[in-house]
Amino acid sequence: MNLQFFAKAVEYDEAIGGNLIRASFREDLDDDPFNSKKKHLVISQLYEFPDDASLQWYDGESGGHYSGSEVSSYKLTEQLFELKMTNNVTFTIQHRGLKKVLAQMRHFLQNELGTGQ
């Protein structure tokens, strides 16, 4: 599977005093995050538990909600986010994220996934 889309929403959020971090790319600004009908990728980490960061995504089709955690590589630039999982699922997401948000994401991704490319 290769999920490709343009993200209108690029967000970085912290909750519970920084114990929960979520980085997301969403195809639609107005899409309901709890009942999404548009393509998206969310990378999150709850530091209360020692697990790896988790990924959840929706491919834009009925029944297409997925999750996983095994990332083999990623690249984040000012206009593109690419991520490849060990099961050969890939993401190619074009975006126009704010520099501050991308810097926060970059720091989070480096802590959780390593330096990337």
Q: What is the pLDDT along the chain (117 residues), one digit of tens a residue?
A: 889 999 999 999 998 887 889 999 999 887 676 677 789 999 999 888 777 888 999 888 766 678 777 899 999 999 999 999 998 899 999 999 999 999 999 999 999 888 776
- Sequence-distant (6+) residues with CB within 8 A of 66 are 56, 57, 58, 59, 89
**Residue-range definition of the domain harbouring residue 99:** 2-113
Domain total of the chain:
1
Rounded to 5°, the CA angle 76-46-1 comes to 45
